[in-house]
Amino acid sequence: MANANDVAAAKTGAHIEARYSIGHLIVYITLVALALFFLLPFIWQVLTSFKTLLDTERTIWPSVWVPRNYLKVFEQIRFGRYFFNSIFVALWVTTLQVTTSSFAAFAFSRLKWPGRDKVFLLYLATMMIPPVVLMIPNFWIIMRLGLYNSYAGLIVPAAFSAFGTFLLRQFMMTIPSSLDEAATIDGATEWQVFTDIILPLARPGIIVLSIFTFMGNYRSFFWPLILIKDDALRTLPIGLMYFDSVYGQQINLLMAGSVMSIVPLVIVFVIFQRQIISGIQIGAVKG
């Protein structure tokens, strides 16, 4: 009898394990299919960048591989200049935005002042306004400030961010208040609490915000499009539009330029993969 029970138990166990494995298999297959699905545009982009213009409309796989497309991009547009502009603007925006956001986040998370939380709500409310709505007022302000068609016009409006403040505030809220108190008793001023204690501890949050800001700004399209007139000030997304103009579309060169333009983003992603994922979790879990 005991043996029969053991056999039955073993069968049930095997059954559960089998079902568990099948479940897993389905999940994996679905995930792999999804991953491939999201990869498709990139694969298409890379393949297209090696095609002749004729091939772009006819085949998926290039009939002739044309690596020279990449050189042609440099010949036809000032790719290096645009690349520099994009990096220059994105780095400035990142530096300024992280600085202002960390100041604001410190004020919203660690300092006590009347109406603090109400002001923060107001701050958050600005995130609900679609950016397109702000385009014209922003453009008007920048014009009046005399920053039209300048680096400053690209940088200044993006130097402050409610999202960045929110992200860092949430992060700073997780730092125990006893640390500031200990530092205060140790003799630290508010500024020293900020620079010596909170800022070093908020480093993961700051890295995440830096990555998000850099990536977001580097690929920014609409604002540079309406603000910049001079070719020398154009950023990459605008510069690449040369290949898609009223005079014709050179999709293969456009893709070659795009592939080169995403290289910095890929590098940033590969290096900071862990921080990016934990950053997504800051918003999702701790928020």
Partner 1 sequence: MAEIVLTKVKKVYPGDVLAVRDIDLKINDKEFVVLVGPSGCGKSTILRMVAGLEEITAGTIEIENRVVNNIAPKNRDIAMVFQDYALYPHMTVRKNIAFGLKLRKYAREEIEKRVQEAGRILGISELLDRKPRALSGGQRQRVAVGRAIVRHPKAFLFDEPLSNLDARLRTEMRAELKRLHGRLQTTTIYVTHDQEEAMTLGDRIVVLKDGIIHQVGTPLEIYFQPVDRFVGGFVGTPPMNFLNGKLVAENGGVMFDEGTVKLVLPQNKHTAVEDMVGKDAVLGVRPETMHVADSAHSENIMPVHVDVSEPLGENTDLYVSTASNKSVVARVESHPGLEMGKDIKLAVDMEAAHVFEVGADAKNRTVEHSRFAS
Name the minimum Å distance from CB 279 to partner 1.
Answer: 19
Q: Would you state the structure tokens that stand for residue 71, as one six-digit string?
A: 């050189």
Count of residues for the chain?
287
Do the beta carbons of residue 209 and residue 97 sit within 8 Å? Answer: yes
Q: CA angle, 27 as apex, 23 and 32 as ends, to 5°? A: 150
User: What is the rounded CA–CA span in Å between residue 165 and residue 99?
Assistant: 10
Residue with smaller CB distance to partner 1, 104 or 197: 197
Residue with smaller CB distance to partner 1, 178 or 245: 178
Residue with smaller CB distance to partner 1, 150 or 184: 184
Which of 137, 187, 247, 270: binder of partner 1 (CB under 8 A)? 187
Name the minimum Å distance from CB 118 to partner 1.
Answer: 15
Residue with smaller CB distance to partner 1, 24 or 116: 116
**x/- map, 147-176, partner 1, by CB under 8 A:** -----------------------------x
Q: Is residue 197 within the footprint of partner 1 (CB under 8 A)?
A: yes
Q: Is residue 67 within the footprint of partner 1 (CB under 8 A)?
A: no
Residue with smaller CB distance to partner 1, 161 or 275: 275
Residue with smaller CB distance to partner 1, 179 or 226: 179
Which of 23, 143, 174, 186: binder of partner 1 (CB under 8 A)? 186
**x/- map, 200-239, partner 1, by CB under 8 A:** xx-x------------------------------------
Do the beta carbons of residue 51 and residue 252 sit within 8 Å? Answer: yes
Residues of this chain that interact with partner 1 (CB under 8 A) are 176, 178-179, 181-189, 192, 196-197, 200-201, 203
